[in-house]
Structure formats: structure tokens, C-alpha cells
Amino acid sequence: MDLNSASTIVLQVLTQATSQDTAVLKPAEEQLKQWETQPFFYSVLLNIFTNHSLDVNVRWLAVLYFKNGIDRYWRRVAPHALSEEEKTTLRAGLIANFNEPVNQIATQISVLIAKVARVDCPRQWPELIPTLLESVKVQDDLQQHRALLTLYHVTKTLASKRLAADRKLFYDLTSGIYSFACSLWNHHTDTFLQQICTGDETGATNSLERTLLSLKVLRKLTVHGFVEPHWNAEVMGFLHAVFERLKQFLECSRSIRAENLCRDRVEKTIILFTKVLLDFLDQHPFSFTSLIQRSLEFAVSYVFTEAGEGIVFEQFIVQCMNLIKMIVKNYAYKPSKNIEDSSPETLEAHKIKTAFFTYPTLMEICRRLVTHYFLLTKEELTMWEEDPEGFTVEETGGDSWKYSLRPCTEVLFIDIFHEYNQTLAPVLLEMVHSLQGSTNVEDTNAILIKDAVYNAVGLAAYELFDSVDFDQWFKNQLLAELQVSHNRYKPIRRRVIWLIGQWISVKFKSDLRPVLYETICNLLQDQDLVVRIETATTLKLTVDDFEFRTDQFLPYLESMFTLLFKLLQEVTECDTKMHVLHVLSCVIERVNIQIQPYVGCLVQYLPLLWKQSEEHNMLRCAILTTLIHLVQGLGADSKNLYPFLLPVIQLSTDVTQPPHVYLLEDGLELWLVTLENSPCLTPELLRIFQNMSALLELSSENLKNCFKIINAYIFLSSSEFLQMYASVLCQSFCSLLKDITTEGQVQVLKVVENVLKVNPVLGPQMFQPLLPSIFRGIIDGERYPVVMSTYLGIMGRVLLQNARFFSLLLSEMAHELGQESDQILGNMIEMWVDRMDNITQPERRKLSALALLSLLPSLNAVIQDKFCGIINISVEGLHDVMTEDAEAGTYKDCMLMAHFEQPKVTDDEEPPTEQDKRKKLLALKDPVHTVSLQQFIYEKLKAQQELLGEQGFQALMETVDTEVVAQLQEFLQGF
């Protein structure tokens, strides 16, 4: 089929694919999907989207299909890759002319040219850059703009490549076009400034667009196109010119009316100038050294003096502050403690910084930050009144300092204060001293200043550790401030309780805590919601602190919990509810079982909140966290929560339900603590396990918790659980072991080991399919010690506690390997003796000794042949477990447990869970903890002696090393 008739068909299908009717749309999309790998499909698409007479929506779709095709089929190694012949035609067609009239389509075409350039430029497409440079020079406005747009996208894409060879190509490209890019930018910038002066709005708008694009190109070339840019006069010339241009554009923005089309673009260009400086500083700190002085003078004058008044706008202030911050904090500019170890470049930069940041400059910056930038704005105060919850959520962490003014000013203050705290601490303390006593509630300005100063003291808490006696200040001043209940004083109440939260982990005497708890109880009843939410935050910091003591907190627990619960019901925003829930969780976690009398109300409310939060998965995560701590606090009583708890676990861990993406991790944690604290297995708890096989198939980072859950079921009620799920589990484990890390293998095998521990009779039959590979692993001498140790642990259990099954397994292995049973048994014992050092856990070492000894007494020639090894292991085992009773001069087995003792729990320790008790009871049935190794060896040797007679037994003992025999006799004294 020729291209023209193909174009007609593709055009028809593309037109159908833009339809709103799904009956038409779906078949069209299917057809296009099939054509994606057909030869010349992309040539047809190119013809369609470069034909300006066609419908815009159809052309737009053609561009998108072309762009997606580049990602999938352009590289030579891709399946269904495009032929070299077609790619050559397409490359030529893409840069034949730059006259796309529709902006959005032009941008997409530029992006897809850049995608091709990433793979082919310059080797397969050497003509791309020269063509673009020629097109940028033409007089035609549209063509010039589209070529410049494409040049920007190509430069941006090539600059992002990171391999050494690609970097070298980009350096070569940059050196070839840098002069041209500089003159192009200067030309468009000068044109724009002239047009704005003469009032030519349309011309100015066009020129500004070109200024912006050529500056974007220059930014990429300057930042990524040179190894050592400071040796290049043109680069440094451009960077110095940036400061001049910034001044011109700032003045220009002052003269442009707000409604002018250019205003927004001018501000965008100003921000782009600052990005050039910030990126360059980030990538080439030493090349930036000669710009430090100028950058600091520029930024400080606009942000911290009158020079900026009426000119600066918020985003520009943020960028300037980030520039100061990056210079102040830059590690490249910090000399080592030992000056001789610092490079000359570092010392030079440090000298420039020190010369700039004089006492008057620092003092002015500090004062302006606190008394100007820290003040709550009119907008913030309005928000406080109209949307208090929105106001409390506003202040976000993370990278918000890069974009938002308040976080940005605070981070700059912290960094400058940290760097120059010797100079600035007295300045800040003087501000604090001038604000002693309570402030007149009518004086709004004084209240806002005090709020700002207290904010500074909180932010600089660590730096002020030695300068402020916080305990005295708390008792003498801050407590009194919190008691002023006037509505206009609420900024101070909120700020003071926040301030205490900042200092609590820095310096706060333990015996003042009860006073603080009293205060928190009062403030949780404050008339203002913002104050109450801030108080809850401080409570969390107080409870979460290292020096928290439960006994001090308990007298206030009931009222705190009640007030927090009231706050939780009161707030309406999802984020605030999450926040208050986290505070509640934290309290429950710290007081543990002491919470039991007070949680009734919360337990009744959580199901309702869960229902309401169907659309808010993050809030549901917070509910799960709260439930985890609740279950731990309630212990066995958590059984009363099952009607709500189990459906929640069911939903959160069901991979067929969409919310599992958010809830799975916390859901598994909740499932685990529920099992650990469960007094008995209920049918519903057993039913949830149906979710597990799909979770094991996911084999994600949650696998560890899945194994813990399986183990918890085994300890809880192995017979019921295994009857229902053993075969499914065994299948899952068989497939998992084929494709899992060593650590994962050990986790799977530990589950099997626990099954055998709990149920030595039925366990081996239920997990029979896994045992041959474990047997083979032992005989073949598995190379990973941890895996080998677990193999031996499992086989030891089978051999010691289910000898009948072991002999069946031995026969099966002999049949499979085509060898005699005795030969295989001999190989196994030999490997066991050889690899005993792989086993590090004392329990498993004792188990190995007991298991191998259980083969005695025997007339079997192979076992007698390995007798020496068995005795060696037994004596090693004795060394591991025997402790000497110095007074009686005898030895005793330290692993023996006689009866179940309820351990005494101190306040700081967590009480044992139901699962801990179950494990303890299980240990009381385990041969490792009930059989004395000393006694066992004695009995087995005695039986062997009786079987062989004195002479035969002596001959056997002579195969053992005399030193080992001597140690054995010492351990067996008294028998």
C-alpha cells in the first residue's frame, strides 16, 4: 500500500480516536495499537501532524502517538525497532521546517525532536544543531520562535545525560554554540527592553518569549557544558551580566502595570536569572567563588534593605534567600578544623564570606528576618480566623523552603544563626529581654513582634542551649503568658506552647514536667482551635521525648485522653484528624497497658471514623497506626475489638482491593500485633489467612512481616491452622524458594522449623515436599552458612522427634539418588560434623548433639564408623550448654527449664504478650529445654556399651581423640 492511501486510512482511524463516543473510540484505539509496529506507520503520522489544514485534535493525537513510538521503538535494540531507512526519512522530515502554528503542538514536536536527539545526536544526526542555529537566525517570527523552542528542548535533553562519553559530547556541543547563544540572548534582551520603553506591547511580548527561551538554553549550557567554567571568560562574563540584567528587569517590572500581558513573563524571567545563579553555585561551587561577593551584595540589598521596596515580589525574595543560604551553608566554603588541610579555593571563599558578614550586616539581617519576615501577615491572620485547620496545616516541612516564603525565611535564619551564633545569640537575647512581662492585648503590633521573637528562640533552641536558662524563663515568664486568656492574646499562647515543644528535648528539667502537663490540660480547653491543635503537637513532643516518665504522666492521663479525643471529634479536615490521631497513638504507645480504663470512647468512635474516611487512605493509615498501639495497650482484651478489627485487617491486606496500595504495610503490622496479643484463635481470625497466599506471591519488602504472621498462627493454634492451610502454605513455599534471596530462604525455613517444633508428629508429613531439597542441601554442603544452619535445625528436629518419618525420608532419598540408605546417612552425618561451626545459636547446637546421639545405640556399621564425629559434636554441645556450679564442683545444663514463671515486669519494660507466654510454654515441651544433654549422652553411651559389650565399646571409644574423651569424662563426673 502506498503512503497516500495509508494516510487516508490512518487519518480516518485517528479521527475516530478523537471521538467522545466510546463505541467509536475503543476500536480506533485498538487499531492504532496494532499499527504501532507496522513499517512506515510513523512516516504516515509525520505527514498527518505536519499538514496544517487538518483538524487540530487529530494532529495532536498523531504527535502523541509518534512521541510514544519514539520511546518504544526508536532504539536499535528495541523489539520491533524502526528500520534505519525510515528513521533517516523521519529525521529529515522533523526538521524540514519550523512553522507549526499551534503552540501546544509545536511544544510536543520540540519534545519529540529532543527525544530522537537523545538517542541519535550527534552521530546519526549531525545536521540537527546546525539546522536549528540557522533557523533561529531567520527573520520570520514564527519560524524563529519554533526553532528556538526546539533548540531549548534539545539542549535540555542532552544536558541531562550523565555517562562520561555523553558529557564529553555535550562539552563539545557547548564550546561550539556558546558564543552564538550568548549573542542571541543579548540581542533578544536588548530588543525587549527597547520595545518596553517605546510602549510596543505586542513586540515586547514576542521578544520577551525569545529572551526567556534563549536564557533557558544558556542556563543548561552554562551549568552543564563546562568542566571548569571559571577558566572561560565568556561564561564568567555572562554570569556577571546576569546581575546587570536582573537590575534592568526588576526596574522594568516596576514600570509595567499589573494587568499588562508582559508582567507575569517578566517575573518569570527574573526568577530564571536567579535559577541560573543557584544552579551554577550548586554544580560548580569553586567556579562561583568570584561571584560570592556580588551575589551576597545583590541578594542582601534587595531583601534586607530599602533598595527592594516596591520592586521585589515573593518568589524573588525566596530565590534571593536561597542564594544567601546556599553560600552560607556551602560545605565547599568551610575550612577544615585544621586550616592546613583546607584547599586554597576553600580558604579564598571563606575569606570573602567572612569579609562580607560583618557584625552590622549580620545584626541587620537577623533583625529584619525576625521583625519583618517572621511577622504573621494579614492573610495568615485572616486564615487563622476563617480556616483555623488550614492555618495549622499550612506550615509544611520537606523542601517547602525552596518555594514558600515562611519556611524559606525560617531555614535561612536557622542556617545563619548556626554559622554565626557567637555574633547573633546576644542580638536575639537582647530582643527577648526587651519583651519581658505580658504585652498589652490592645497592641496588635507588639503581640506580633513578640510572636516573631519567640519563634526565633524556638528555631535556634539548640544554638541557645548555653545562653538561655529555659527552666527559669518557663517558670517566671512563659507560664504567665499562657494564662492570659484574652482572644487577642492567642498568637502568644499558641507560640509559647510551640516554643516549649521546641525546647523540650533540648533543655527542660524533669521535675517541671507535671507543671507542663497541667498547663497542657488547660490549653487543650482553650477557646481557640489553633491553640488547641498546637498544644496537642507539643504534647506529642513531650511524650515522645527520651526523658518521659510514665509515673509523672499518669495523674493527667485521663483528662489528657478525654480532651484529645474531644479534639479529634471536633476537627473536620482529614490532615488535622490524622495529626490528632498520631498524638493519641503516641500517648497510647508510651503508657501501654495503663491506657486500658480510658479507651472505651475511642474504641467506639474509630469504626465511625473508618467509615467516614473511605476516600482518605492516609487518614485510614493513621487509624491503623492507632489500632496497632491500642491492641498493644489492651493485650488479651483486644479480643473485644475483633468485630471491627478483623474486617479492617481483611480489607487492608486484600491485594484485590485498591486501598491495599496505601494500607498494606500498616495492615500487616496490625494483623501481627493482633495475633501476638490474641488469647485464642477465632474462626474469623483463621479466615483472614486466606489473604496470605496472594501476599506471598507479591514477594515484596513486606515478606518479612508475612512470615512473622505465619509464625504467630503456628504458635497460636498449630493444629487447627495447619489442617486448614498447610498444603496451600507448602505450595507457596515451594515456589518462593525457587526465586528468593538467601535471607528470604532462611525466613521460609524458620517457619518450617517452627512447625516441627510445635507439631513434631504431623509437621514433617504436612511439609514433606520441602524436606528432600533440604536433605540434598545438607549432603551437597550448602555454601551459605546461615542456610546450612537452618537446614540442620530442621533435619535435627525430624531425626530427634520423629525417627520413623526420618527413616522413610532416608529411603525416599536413597531411591531418588540411586544409592544405599546407609551410604546417604553416612554422608549426611559426615557433612553435619564438618559444618557444625555454621551453627551459631546454642539451641540449634544442642539440638544437633541430641539428634545425632539419638542414632545410638546402633549396630549399624556406618553409624559406628561416624561414632567419633557424633561424640565430637556432643562434647562441643556440652561446652556450649554446661555451666559449672563452683560450690558443688559439678556441671549443669543451663538450657533446662523446669516450670513456667511469670516474669516480673518493671515500669519501663513492656509486659509479655500472649505470644511470649505461648513461646514459653512451648519451650517447656521442647527436648532442647527439657532433656539434659549430660544425662542423654550418658544414657546413650551406656546403651551402646550394653549392646556391644565392654570390649567392642572400648574399641569404639578408641576412635575418639584422647583429649575429647578426657573432656567427656570430666563432664560426666557423678554419673
Residues 854-880: pLDDT tens digits? 999 999 999 999 999 999 999 999 999
273 close to 215: Cβ distance less than 8 angstroms: yes
Q: What dihedral angle (degrees, nearest 10) is formed by the CA atoms of 412, 414, 415, 421?
A: 130
d(CA 822, CA 810): 9
Q: How far is CA 448 from CA 405, 459, 490, in A?
A: 17, 17, 11
Which pLDDT does position 395 carry in this prediction?
A: 61
pLDDT category, 909, cuts 50, 70, 90?
low
Model confidence at 2: pLDDT above 70: no
Is the link from the previous residue into 344 a cis peptide, with omega within 30 of 0?
Answer: no
Which pLDDT does position 617 carry in this prediction?
A: 87
Average pLDDT estimate for 827-851: 93
pLDDT in tens, 434-448: 888 777 888 899 999
Average pLDDT estimate for 511-526: 94
893 close to 934: Cβ distance less than 8 angstroms: yes
Average pLDDT estimate for 902-927: 78
d(CA 224, CA 158): 10
pLDDT in tens, 53-93: 999 999 999 999 999 999 899 998 888 888 999 999 999 99
| From 9-13, 520-524, 531-535, 695-699, the region with the lowest mean pLDDT | 695-699
Which pLDDT does position 89 carry in this prediction?
A: 92
Residue 791 amino acid letter: Y
Which pLDDT does position 901 carry in this prediction?
A: 59
Q: What nine digits make up the cell of 77?
A: 535494540
Contacts of residue 899, defined as CB under 8 A and 6 or more positions apart, other chains included, come to 924
Secondary structure letter of residue 331 according to DSSP: G
Which pLDDT does position 615 carry in this prediction?
A: 85
pLDDT in tens, 216-272: 999 999 999 999 999 999 999 999 999 999 999 998 888 887 667 788 889 999 999
Which pLDDT does position 397 carry in this prediction?
A: 62
pLDDT in tens, 948-958: 999 999 999 99
Model confidence at 902: pLDDT above 70: no
655 close to 692: Cβ distance less than 8 angstroms: no
Average pLDDT estimate for 367-394: 92
Residue 731 amino acid letter: Q
pLDDT category, 453, cuts 50, 70, 90?
very high
Contacts of residue 841, defined as CB under 8 A and 6 or more positions apart, other chains included, come to 789, 793
Model confidence at 1: pLDDT above 50: no
d(CA 513, CA 462): 20
More confident residue, 808 or 25: 808
* Of the candidates 484, 529, 477, 528, the residue with the CA atom closest to the CA atom of residue 500: 477
Model confidence at 908: pLDDT above 70: no
Residue 399 amino acid letter: D
Which pLDDT does position 605 carry in this prediction?
A: 87
Q: What nine digits make up the cell of 394?
A: 499550612
Q: What dihedral angle (degrees, nearest 10) is formed by the CA atoms of 897, 900, 905, 909?
A: 60
Q: Is 922 exposed, middle or buried (0-12, 13-18, 19+ CB in 10 A)?
A: middle
For the residues of 259-304, what is the DSSP string, one character each?
TSHHHHHHHHHHHHHHHHHHHHHHH-TTTTHHHHHHHHHHHHHHHH
Model confidence at 755: pLDDT above 80: yes
Which pLDDT does position 16 carry in this prediction?
A: 87
pLDDT in tens, 765-802: 999 999 999 999 999 988 899 999 999 999 999 999 99
